[in-house]
Amino acid sequence: MQTQFYSHGKLLITGEYTILKGSTGLAVPTKMGQKMWVKPSLTENQSLLEWKAFDFENNIWFTCTLSYKSWAVLSTNNTKFSKTLIQILKEANGVSGFFKKKIANYLVETHLEFPNYWGLGSSSTFINNIAKWLQVDPFTLLFNTLGGSGYDIACANHSKPIYYSLEAKNAVVSNANFFPTFHNNLFFIYLNQKKETSTALSNFLANNTTTSQQIARITQITNLISSTKVLDEFSNLITEHENILSTILGEKTIKELLFKEYPHAIKSLGAWGGDFILVVANNTQDLTYFKTKKYTTIFSYQEMILS
């Protein structure tokens, strides 16, 4: 008998980087996520755990067979990710003792609903599904392994937009009433490159010079963005947010770098320089500008966001 688990993907509308310094961010779960099935393995060796990870086209991208008694990798097609998997399982094992209590062998299959290079949460949905299976706290599992702010874990477990912050390193999550009346004017565009969030956050924590005023203003912008019913006000707020982060990071905004001629507001989502951006458009004709620049992976708000 198999057991199925599911976690939603994520996008961070406000608060990138600054959540780690005390701001509140607005995050939204996506319609695309990751499934995981756990079922008894057919192998006769009762001490083995088999793992198969499938991409969004149902092709296997990762396989691993390991002994959960010795944590030895017996076979794999990706040594680096095998080490990550063992790190996560060891942490979960220390918290739950799951593998100490269960001696039956398992076959675990994970299935992504989006390309893992899109930055929608391939790692967070992976960890969250493991936490569900092993019945451990997903935030603890994330913080003690891959790290990060944890907003992606919160999205994985919610079906509607959320406010997210950290208080004394503890996740604080509440529901956000965010479904803009102008959602038909909002689009998400992939920048054709993946940005490593962990590297970006490490650089930020090592080099940033945030002020308490900047952090407070990001939280104010988060609250204003989630409540405004006026597109122009929304555009001004995300532009201000971009400018604040530009000052903090010492980097040009994505609009300055790539889309100077575009007449409407653009905002980076998550780690700057990759993954998706949020674009304001009067109509779908405005999106031709991005298509001519070879940015053709475009989603409307309703296509992307679970709300």
Tens digit of pLDDT at every position of the chain (307 positions):
679 999 999 999 999 999 999 999 999 999 999 999 999 877 766 678 999 999 999 999 999 999 877 889 999 999 999 999 999 998 988 776 666 555 458 899 999 999 999 999 999 999 999 999 989 999 999 999 999 999 999 999 999 999 999 999 899 999 999 999 999 999 999 999 876 676 767 777 677 778 999 999 999 999 999 999 999 999 999 999 999 999 999 899 999 999 999 999 999 998 887 799 999 999 999 999 999 999 999 999 999 999 7
pLDDT of residue 46: 66
**Per-residue tokens: 98:** 């799951």
CA quadruple 251, 115, 186, 291: dihedral sign: positive
How far apart are alpha carbons 303 and 165 in whole angstroms? 26
How far apart are alpha carbons 204 and 195 in whole angstroms? 14
pLDDT of residue 124: 97
How far apart are alpha carbons 293 and 138 in whole angstroms? 39
Residues for the chain: how many in total?
307
pLDDT of residue 103: 43
How far apart are alpha carbons 265 and 298 in whole angstroms? 16
Q: How is the beta sheet containing 298-300 ordered, strand by strand? A: 266-268, 276-280, 186-190, 298-300
pLDDT of residue 71: 86
Question: What pTM, to 2 d.p., does this model score?
Answer: 0.93
How far apart are alpha carbons 47 and 104 in whole angstroms? 7
Which helix (H) or strand (E) segment holds residue 101: the answer is helix 98-101
**Per-residue tokens: 78:** 């990706």
Which helix (H) or strand (E) segment holds residue 104: the answer is none
How far apart are alpha carbons 215 and 25 in whole angstroms? 10
Among 221, 206, 190, 212, CA closest to 293: 190
3-state secondary structure of 107: strand
pLDDT of residue 102: 58
Biggest CA–CA distance in the chain, Å, is: 64
pLDDT of residue 1: 65
- Gyration radius of the chain's alpha carbons: 20
